[in-house]
């Protein structure tokens, strides 16, 4: 990985750790952005981390562009030496795959899709070498996913599957974006999964929907009253397939305030994961199962 530094207009420094998303790039980006935050440099107003990069916003009336660039660059050596471990949480997210709401939306926008004759899951299964949608769904939920970024729209997580690169599920976005996507749709574009936090336009393939709100600016959802956004970078997700009855039950529990997401604190060691992905993933999911 060779880090690239550039200016973004008059008030931003952009730091790209790698052109490709990887957990190594994420950890270095996280270490560098944390180092910038801890340095408490006068003039910095915001730090925005992304999948394998981050951006620093600064006030040029307080610090000159060349000075902030040099200060950020000086922190890279320490980030390279940072420990690649973190205490995080693994979260179980219920998903109603092949639900009626995303299916109806898919049918309205079929002319914008690569394969107008089938569904998004049918297409995803075919191009990833699976016999049918059910096999693809099994591959989708059988391994954990890592939240590498939150943003684009408020509360929307981007998730990277914790498997070898050659086993990544990859599906292109729609040929042209839809003007509608149901709220809480579980989508996929490239190698990234996401959850649409609000209803709106979108181009990711639609695989299902979760009944679990992940963004609540009105603080009506009990488990989101402390903070309106559920996800944060570094979270680990295990999708849990549910049916219509289970979806309706969770929805009712959210409305009456009794629903509690299944969350377990875990330690994630990048070196251990790189050494034995299968064993590390199994240990993560075992922690969730035993809770």
Domain 4-82 has CATH 3.30.1360.40: yes
CB 99 within 8 A of CB 247: yes
Per residue of the chain (291 residues), give pLDDT as tens.
689 999 998 999 999 998 888 888 899 998 899 999 999 999 999 998 888 899 999 999 999 999 999 999 999 988 777 778 899 999 999 999 999 999 999 999 999 999 999 999 999 999 999 999 999 999 999 999 999 999 888 999 999 999 998 999 999 999 999 999 999 999 999 999 999 999 999 999 999 999 999 999 999 999 999 999 999 999 999 999 999 999 999 999 999 999 999 999 999 999 999 999 999 999 999 999 887
What Cα–Cα distance (Å) separates residue 214 from each residue in 83, 98, 256?
30, 20, 17
Separation of alpha carbons 214 and 271, rounded Å: 30
pTM tops 0.85, yes or no: yes
Class of domain 87-290: mainly beta
Separation of alpha carbons 206 and 131, rounded Å: 19
Separation of alpha carbons 26 and 155, rounded Å: 19
Where in the chain are the domains?
4-82, 87-290
């Amino acid at each position: 990985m060779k880090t690239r530094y550039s200016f973004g207009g008059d008030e931003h420094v952009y730091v790209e750790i790698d052109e490709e998303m990887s957990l190594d790039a994420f950890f270095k980006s996280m270490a560098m952005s944390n180092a910038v935050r801890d340095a408490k440099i006068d003039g910095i107003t915001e730090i925005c981390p992304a999948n394998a990069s981050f951006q620093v916003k600064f006030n040029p009336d307080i610090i000159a562009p060349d000075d902030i660039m040099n200060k950020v660059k000086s922190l890279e050596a320490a980030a390279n030496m940072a420990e690649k471990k973190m205490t995080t949480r693994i979260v179980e997210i219920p998903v109603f795959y092949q639900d009626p709401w995303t299916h109806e939306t898919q049918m309205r926008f079929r002319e914008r899709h690569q394969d107008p004759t089938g569904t998004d899951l049918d297409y995803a299964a075919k191009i990833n070498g699976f016999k049918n949608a059910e096999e693809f769904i099994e591959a989708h939920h059988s391994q954990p996913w890592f939240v590498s970024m939150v943003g684009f729209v408020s509360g929307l997580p981007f998730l990277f599957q914790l498997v070898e690169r050659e086993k990544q599920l990859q599906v292109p976005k729609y040929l042209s974006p839809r003007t509608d996507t149901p709220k809480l749709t579980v989508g996929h574009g490239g190698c990234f999964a996401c959850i649409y936090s609000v209803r709106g336009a979108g181009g990711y393939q639609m695989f299902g929907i979760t009944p679990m709100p992940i963004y609540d600016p009105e603080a009506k959802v009990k488990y989101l009253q402390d903070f309106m956004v559920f996800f944060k970078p570094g979270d680990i997700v295990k999708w849990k397939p549910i049916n219509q009855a289970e979806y309706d039950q969770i929805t009712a529990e959210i409305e009456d305030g009794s629903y509690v997401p299944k969350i377990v604190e875990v330690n994630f060691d990048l070196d251990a994961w790189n050494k034995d992905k299968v064993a590390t993933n199994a240990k993560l999911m075992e922690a969730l199962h035993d809770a």
